[in-house]
Amino acid sequence: MDKCVKRLGMGITSGKAAKAVENQRARKLYEEIFDEDSPAFVDYYFRVKAAENEIFVVENEKQEILATLHLNPYKMMFCDERVKTNYIVAVATRADCRHQGMMRSLLQASLQEMYRREETFTWLMPAAEAIYRPFGFRFIYEKNKMTVTADVLQRAETDENWQIHSDQEVSGDIFCEEAKKEDLAELACFAEKQLSKLAEVYTVHDIAYFEQRMQEAECEGGRLVLIRNENRICGYFLALREQREAWEIVVENAVQKQAFPAVLRWLEAGREKCTLTAFPKIWEQYAKSENVPAIMGRIVHLERFVRCLKTKKEQEFKIRLTDSLIPENNGYFLIKTGAGGGTVTKAGNLSEKKEKMFRSLDIGQLTEELFRLSVFLNEVV
């Protein structure tokens, strides 16, 4: 049976609506493989995300889709530079077509397209690390997680031994309320200011970003919630209130002590235990927490990646790089990094003696070595 790898919507020039219609062809396989997703969420995904993403597929001669890989575009801050990246999702193969190399073909086709566009890196949330590690992906982000019980709330409300000492005095009530569309401009400004302090790599949290996160949460019964100090936004999080779960909890340092019990009260932690994921590290003093590896990443365009990379100390690497999916990344390279960015020089016609001066690394090992940055990528879709 003949099979081919293609990108849905190629040649469509009449806008997002037409692209979304073409991308709907991938919905059947999505629903078959990801049957844990609610119909409301799938509707949201193919209405909103499929209007802007790229879907690579493997088809047979009957134009039946046998396997898919979706590239969801995200604007990213990477060492103070705004770059375009893609979040790989919905990697799926029809049950009767597995173990035929289709996933590898899709990864290679999509990575080569991203390389052509000079994208710095790509990222995904793996079902299992072992699936993506052979293709050069390594964990670049982990999130803390803890379960909070009623006694923790009581202790937090009365604790006088808070370990953060801020020179900014906090006055006024700290409380939580659901975000409204008219709040999103202020929230986007707040998030940009806070995330630039938290991490060197993070998704750009503009108004459009928060609009999508609100829709995404609401279709599963969740909410985007603001933390306020009187009328001022001083934090936010996403939550499923009935399940008492909250995640992506971002709070400015000055109010982290008061915000902790405020979040727990909103989740009604006094009645039942609740779960917090990706929250201010200082809150770990109140309950046992664990760090959970969450997002894997991979260098796509070596030169573009290094050009953005900023390091406090000047560093130099001589490497012989191998990349089984992007041939252009293969070769002998001299890499230099520093506070102003980095450079890559490809070496050619080396003598056997000089070749021995270069360390042999594959693209995954280099990703681990260069991606020693603070990262905030707490995405779901």
**What tens digit of pLDDT does each residue of 7-45 get?**
997 755 446 677 778 889 999 999 999 999 999 999 999
pLDDT over 50 (residue 165): no
Average pLDDT rounded to a whole number, residues 65-74:
97
pLDDT over 50 (residue 166): no
- Distance in angstroms (rounded) separating the CA atoms of residues 305 and 307: 5
pLDDT score at 362 = 98
pLDDT over 70 (residue 348): yes
**What tens digit of pLDDT does each residue of 273-283 get?**
999 999 999 99
Range of the domain at 318: 301-361
Residues 15 and 92 in one domain: yes
Residues 94 and 158 in one domain: no
pLDDT score at 9 = 75
pLDDT score at 197 = 94
Give 72's contacts (C-beta < 8 A, 6+ positions apart). Answer: 49, 52, 53, 86, 87, 88, 89, 381
CATH number for position 216? 3.40.630
pLDDT score at 125 = 97
Residues 330 and 228 in one domain: no
Q: How confident is the model at residue 272 (pLDDT cuts 50, 70, 90)?
A: confident
Whether 296 is covered by a domain: the verdict is no
**What tens digit of pLDDT does each residue of 175-217 get?**
999 999 999 999 999 999 999 999 999 999 999 999 999 999 9
Q: What is the mean pLDDT of the chain?
A: 92
- Nearest CA to 201 out of 361, 312, 309 is that of 309
Sheet holding 315-322, edge to edge: 341-347, 331-338, 315-322, 359-362
pLDDT score at 155 = 85
pLDDT score at 252 = 96
Residues 238 and 349 in one domain: no
Q: How confident is the model at residue 168 (pLDDT cuts 50, 70, 90)?
A: low
Lowest mean pLDDT among 35-44, 150-159, 209-218, 306-315: 150-159
Whether 375 is covered by a domain: the verdict is no
Residues 275 and 313 in one domain: no
Residues 198 and 321 in one domain: no
pLDDT score at 2 = 72
pLDDT score at 18 = 72
Residues 189 and 104 in one domain: no
Q: Where are the beta strands (DSSP E) in the chain?
A: 3-7, 54-60, 65-78, 81-93, 121-124, 138-148, 174-178, 201-203, 223-229, 232-240, 245-251, 274-277, 289-299, 315-322, 331-338, 341-347, 359-362, 375-376
Average pLDDT rounded to a whole number, residues 158-172:
60
Residues 66 and 180 in one domain: no
Residues 189 and 282 in one domain: yes
Whether 378 is covered by a domain: the verdict is no
| Cβ 139 vs Cβ 185: under 8 Å | no
Whether 76 is covered by a domain: the verdict is yes
Whether 30 is covered by a domain: the verdict is yes
> Total domain count for the chain?
3
Whether 86 is covered by a domain: the verdict is yes
Q: How many residues does the chain have?
A: 381
pLDDT over 70 (residue 170): no
- Nearest CA to 62 out of 91, 90, 25 is that of 25
Rounded to two decimals, the pTM is 0.92
| Cβ 64 vs Cβ 58: under 8 Å | no
Whether 206 is covered by a domain: the verdict is yes
Q: What are the DSSP calls for 109-150, one per residue?
A: HHHHHHHHTT--EEEE--S-HHHHGGGT-EEEEEEEEEEE-H
Residues 345 and 236 in one domain: no
Whether 367 is covered by a domain: the verdict is no
Residues 277 and 180 in one domain: yes
Residues 269 and 312 in one domain: no
pLDDT score at 20 = 74
CATH number for position 29? 3.40.630.30
Its sign, for the CA torsion 48, 242, 266, 253, is negative
Q: What residues does 310 pair with on adjacent strands?
A: 338
Q: How confident is the model at residue 269 (pLDDT cuts 50, 70, 90)?
A: confident
**What tens digit of pLDDT does each residue of 236-254 get?**
999 999 999 999 999 999 9
- Nearest CA to 180 out of 145, 220, 211, 148 is that of 211
